[in-house]
Structure 1
């Protein structure tokens, strides 16, 4: 079953409210019409005793019927309000309060007037025919005057209180305020005068008159000195040829001003209120009582019943009007509140669809329009917020994608050095699980203690420097060796840069420049080798030839003397050293002029077996043991350069094993192994010796030129191996082999990527 939309429900509610208002309006008009007819008949009967006596029964029946109808309507309204309260409908209690207030407002004065008038009528009619009738007539006149004065003073007090609402209202905006005051006072007209008696603004009947009646100067002076002046007008005898004036009560009160200046001009509020017809009739009746005394003497009982009936009907009309006014005004007040309550519940539930609004010009209808505008603004704001959040998520994802794919490491730290976030590049460079250390100090990560302390010190100095010199970043190079690594690794050279973020967190960006430093060193040594080969090789041959020529010229002259033996020994030493220098120069030349690798598919096992033919086991001082993995797929490599790599590694391993004194023993051998690493998708070539290993400083710089532990070594063997490995895209690792805490040799490993076709 479909559920009606909120707009359809609101439209249905508006139709029901419109129908109810029409029904109440028609019923009210009918009842008021009957009441007015009865009052008219009673009034006519009052002036015509014969007519009254002839139609007394009919008037009595009509009075009873109208009273019953009015009572039924009041009871129906009360039952309807009780049902609304029992069902807990929103605004029902407000309607009850309004009905009670208006009923009391209408009933209390009506009862007072009814009781006073009843007593007055009963006693007055009886006293008319007393010997003191003249005194009674005077008492009746005084009573009427007192009643009018009470009404006048009441209007005066209300006018003075209403004038306080105009204290801060300028003259230009006084019209709307006067309309509101007129409704509050239930006055026929409200006029605002200045001190000179000039009209400022008006509301009611005076607003359509060309020249409203101006307050006199005496009245203005009295109002200023006595706070207000009240008077009753229209009860005088009418002038012949002119329409009788409408009896009314007029009050004139001074408007208080919040201005302190001496030039502030006082203003006066004047309100006029029509007198109740019953009071006017009574006043006129009292005035005419003396003239009609003889005529009414025979019908005093009828007069008493007539007046009592008139007063009773007036009381019912007043109560009915008050309750009806309460219901109508309550519905008008509750309808916007109901719309607001329903809209608030929808907004609280997250429904920001357009809300219904009233088009009338009062404040509550304006409140519904403001609420509808606010709801629309909230909907627009939520849409903009959702759009901003989506854009923020997209930007965050975009930034995260960039960070995840950066080759540089990015780490965000707090002031205590705790890791807030990191990218995969930082984990890859540092070879440490930084993501697992989020919320913990970076110094707790194994192998990064010194690096974390250095970074913290740099940030501390940056904070001091920025405060004094406006520095916004620092840059420093670091050298460290990660503790956890799948391979033994050379020292990492990092170039780090740090900056302070706006939220006082710290941004650390670093790059691995180990390969750049190694390449720079390789390039520098290549340049040194080239220059050495050029500068040294040229004078070596003349030195050797000159030494041999000296021996050839001087040897026959010296004969077999000790000098001849010394000469021969010296020449032989010169020639041997020259040959050694030539070999050194040739190695430098070969290192500097190493050709580019021509990479082709290559079976590493076959290449190793070919190289091993040059190392026969029976004649070798240090035998070579082979362990070849048949699963090794082809790699891409240059056969000649890789053959040179294997020769260099085997020669170094044999020299290290022989130098350690283990040659000839059971363990004095070199291990050459190939291995297929399925997880890493690479082929590893390993050469393991049983020498003394490397010291820590040599281990860190073993692949740099002219770094060696041999007394006569050039230090270019491993440098050439490193350069060839780099040209092949291979990973090279050098480490000491430990057994029970003691060094039992060294190991060099090269990991080659496999051929793409394989």
Structure 2
């Protein structure tokens, strides 16, 4: 079952869209920027009373909202991370670990600073409102007041003395006197007023004013009642640091005593020193602010602690958000690499994503992607090479499978590594099931395997001395395989050494072919040539010999004594009989040599067998005696074969005659003729069985050669003719002894014919 390939987001779970990542980054950056700005404004509000009273509440609420929004973002990210962790998505644990590390790195220092700052702020606020501080401020305020009062009282006394000096000064001389008095008193302005508040004379700055500021009526009344008064002006005016002054007024008594004499008022203005005024104002402002904050001490403490706590929350929340964002950025290349490594380990060499960052991790992902691409190219080259190798191997295997020769590869110990079907067909042993076993241990191939091993040993020894590249030897195998025991197989084998599959190891190549048919054909051809020459060389002298013996018997008839006549008659008869025997033998050899080529036509083998056996079922036939019963078992499934009816009749007669002769002297005399159809090999078999003593071992090896027989009167040409006719029909002849429980039950000859197309 095939599955669709995983998408990029499925293979890399942390790979979100670029727009989403940038949107999250911008949103978090905006929230943190707003929080920082609001925190700055909040800290500014704590140092400005008016700004604090006007905007602190709103700033605090907005900062709380920003902190809550950051908390919601953190909660959403945490829920998402927990969900990914529960779903066992790849990379979730690493991201959680990195986020936790960054969060702890940001939270623990912030918590430590918060604890220290909390203690510092609490103790600092308490220290601000100490009794000593309050007493110091009060003492400073009193000192300023006393100083100013002393300066005012001193100026008032001096003004009273100066007023007494001006009592006798006429009005016309008043300006000069006032100027001199201004210099003596270091005053900035000196004015002489009439009793009704009219300007009489002036010196200093008021001289340049058209309407100098006249004293108030209340002040004039105080002067008349107290004779001398001093007041401080400009201390509470905005920007009064350079305009703070002491005005001292004193009554100037008239020079004469009378009802019309009007007292005058002397006004002296002296500027206060700027440092003194500044210090006095600072002490006054400090005392006023201290009193105000002393009244709101607990509120101030809550304000600072709240601001500090909110700053901690914003810092920690911002640190956590940055930790998650930065952790994600840091973990993303690692997760890309980890996912890529997992895919490569699973065999997936598809192109891997590479980050475009300029840092080392981005370069590492690019290097990994390049390495993966190189691996993919190498795998493609290997796959292409493997396809070529497999094609060549399949081509070679096809060649080996279709070779008529047998090919067996052995290891250094002679164990079978592989074998082609040709080897199994020739040796008639399932070598594929014997892989891993020594060839000499396979049943039926012990002698052959030992001989092959010896040939390889000799070859290796001689190769070191003479540089041989192969060895070649012929072997004769008897009773090979279970399919045809008793057959003699002649093999020509060739061996060589070849490289093994493992480096440094060698294998042994054994190639052999069955030349039994070639040897048999050569022998048949040789026997045919011998038979032809025997028929020519022997038959010609036989007739003169017979005629000479008969003529000699005629010439000497009646001329010899009876005993000698009898001996001569017997000798002549012997010569004639032996000549006849020699003629029959020569005729059989002639017939074997002159056996005509078969005319193959579609033939019903069952019908042919029935027709021939019909002759053997009749009693008293001198040519085909039926003293041995013949049992017939025909397979109705047998299809027609290609054969020559006349030659196959001869084959049947020869086999039946041999079978009947073999049963002579047997306890059970019985011959069976069978036909069988083999669906797997698509061949039809003709089987002739007897109940005799079977073939001797030496006969099995040369049964098809002419003049090989066990019968005293036989010529040994019967099976040779059968073999020659079988070759003409492309049939395979098998001979074996039927054995059961170690006892030979008789002989069996079978011919396997191909069916007609």
One of 335, 348, 365 as aligned partner of 2:329: 335
- Cα deviation, 1:466-516, whole Å, max 9, x if unaligned, reads 677766655443333446535554122334445553345655544333222
One of 480, 487, 498 as aligned partner of 1:490: 487
SS at match of 1:478: strand
Whole-Å separation in 1 of the counterparts to 2:324 and 2:432: 67
Structure 2 CA distance for partners of 1:670 and 1:5, relative to 1, 3 Å: closer
Whole-Å separation in 2 of the counterparts to 1:422 and 1:547: 67
Match for residue 527 of structure 2?
A: 525
- Cα deviation, 1:677-716, whole Å, max 9, x if unaligned, reads 24465252526375x6542112221111232334564433
Cα offset for 1:723? 0.5
TM-score using structure 1 length: 0.58
Superposition pairs of residues 10-25 of structure 1, within 5 angstroms: 13-25=17-29
SS at match of 2:646: helix
Match for residue 427 of structure 2?
A: 430
Match for residue 706 of structure 1?
A: 707
Match for residue 204 of structure 1?
A: none
Match for residue 675 of structure 1?
A: 674
Unaligned residue ranges in structure 2 (runs of 5+): 85-91, 138-274, 294-300
SS at match of 1:677: strand
SS at match of 1:494: strand
Whole-Å separation in 2 of the counterparts to 1:744 and 1:99: 97
Conservation of the 8 A alpha-carbon contact between 2:686 and 2:751: yes
- Cα deviation, 1:26-66, whole Å, max 9, x if unaligned, reads 34444555677789999xx9xxxxxxxxx642257657866
Whole-Å separation in 1 of the counterparts to 2:614 and 2:49: 148
Unaligned residue ranges in structure 1 (runs of 5+): 46-54, 131-288
Residue range with higher mean Cα deviation, 422-431 or 545-554: 545-554
Structure 2 CA distance for partners of 1:463 and 1:80, relative to 1, 3 Å: farther
- Cα deviation, 1:655-674, whole Å, max 9, x if unaligned, reads 656xx667xxx96x674x54
Superposition pairs of residues 236-315 of structure 1, within 5 angstroms: none
Conservation of the 8 A alpha-carbon contact between 1:733 and 1:748: yes
Structure 2 CA distance for partners of 1:78 and 1:541, relative to 1, 3 Å: same
Superposition pairs of residues 722-737 of structure 1, within 5 angstroms: 722-736=723-737
Match for residue 641 of structure 1?
A: 647
Match for residue 690 of structure 2?
A: 688
- Cα deviation, 1:705-743, whole Å, max 9, x if unaligned, reads 232334564433321221112212334344456688666
Conservation of the 8 A alpha-carbon contact between 2:675 and 2:686: yes
Conservation of the 8 A alpha-carbon contact between 2:333 and 2:362: no
Are 2:384 and 1:361 aligned? no
Superposition pairs of residues 548-559 of structure 1, within 5 angstroms: 551=552
Conservation of the 8 A alpha-carbon contact between 1:547 and 1:575: no
Match for residue 234 of structure 2?
A: none
SS at match of 2:491: strand
Match for residue 597 of structure 1?
A: 598
Cα offset for 1:15? 2.6
SS at match of 1:675: strand
Are 2:609 and 1:608 aligned? no
Match for residue 511 of structure 1?
A: 513
Whole-Å separation in 1 of the counterparts to 2:536 and 2:69: 125
Structure 2 CA distance for partners of 1:77 and 1:41, relative to 1, 3 Å: closer
Match for residue 719 of structure 2?
A: 718
Conservation of the 8 A alpha-carbon contact between 1:689 and 1:747: no
Match for residue 478 of structure 1?
A: 475
Whole-Å separation in 1 of the counterparts to 2:583 and 2:481: 44
Cα offset for 1:412? 5.0
Structure 2 CA distance for partners of 1:16 and 1:593, relative to 1, 3 Å: same
Match for residue 57 of structure 1?
A: 50
SS at match of 1:588: helix
SS at match of 1:702: coil
Superposition pairs of residues 539-618 of structure 1, within 5 angstroms: 540=541, 544=545, 547=548, 551=552, 580-602=581-603, 603-605=607-609, 607-608=611-612, 616-617=620-621
Whole-Å separation in 2 of the counterparts to 1:699 and 1:415: 35
Whole-Å separation in 2 of the counterparts to 1:64 and 1:506: 99
- Cα deviation, 1:236-263, whole Å, max 9, x if unaligned, reads xxxxxxxxxxxxxxxxxxxxxxxxxxxx
Conservation of the 8 A alpha-carbon contact between 1:649 and 1:687: no
Cα offset for 1:22? 2.0
Residue range with higher mean Cα deviation, 309-318 or 377-386: 309-318
Residue range with higher mean Cα deviation, 676-685 or 573-582: 573-582
Whole-Å separation in 1 of the counterparts to 2:111 and 2:319: 13
Conservation of the 8 A alpha-carbon contact between 1:617 and 1:624: no
Structure 2 CA distance for partners of 1:111 and 1:682, relative to 1, 3 Å: closer
Conservation of the 8 A alpha-carbon contact between 1:694 and 1:746: yes
Are 2:101 and 1:97 aligned? yes
- Cα deviation, 1:424-480, whole Å, max 9, x if unaligned, reads 444433333444445555556543333344444445556666677766655443333
Match for residue 623 of structure 1?
A: 627
Whole-Å separation in 1 of the counterparts to 2:6 and 2:422: 58
Residue range with higher mean Cα deviation, 350-359 or 18-27: 350-359
- Which of the two has higher C-alpha Rg? 2
Q: Matched residue pairs, number?
A: 578
SS at match of 2:629: strand
Whole-Å separation in 1 of the counterparts to 2:39 and 2:611: 128
Whole-Å separation in 2 of the counterparts to 1:624 and 1:3: 80
- Cα deviation, 1:319-345, whole Å, max 9, x if unaligned, reads 967974674465134235246437745
Conservation of the 8 A alpha-carbon contact between 1:336 and 1:358: no
Residue range with higher mean Cα deviation, 725-734 or 312-321: 312-321
Whole-Å separation in 2 of the counterparts to 1:116 and 1:740: 113
Conservation of the 8 A alpha-carbon contact between 1:480 and 1:491: yes
Whole-Å separation in 1 of the counterparts to 2:8 and 2:387: 30
Whole-Å separation in 2 of the counterparts to 1:599 and 1:529: 26
Cα offset for 1:596? 0.6
Conservation of the 8 A alpha-carbon contact between 2:478 and 2:485: no
Cα offset for 1:601? 4.3
Match for residue 200 of structure 1?
A: none
Whole-Å separation in 2 of the counterparts to 1:497 and 1:4: 56
Whole-Å separation in 1 of the counterparts to 2:109 and 2:288: 31
Conservation of the 8 A alpha-carbon contact between 1:347 and 1:375: no
Whole-Å separation in 2 of the counterparts to 1:338 and 1:301: 60
Whole-Å separation in 2 of the counterparts to 1:651 and 1:432: 33
Match for residue 501 of structure 2?
A: 502
Whole-Å separation in 2 of the counterparts to 1:520 and 1:618: 37
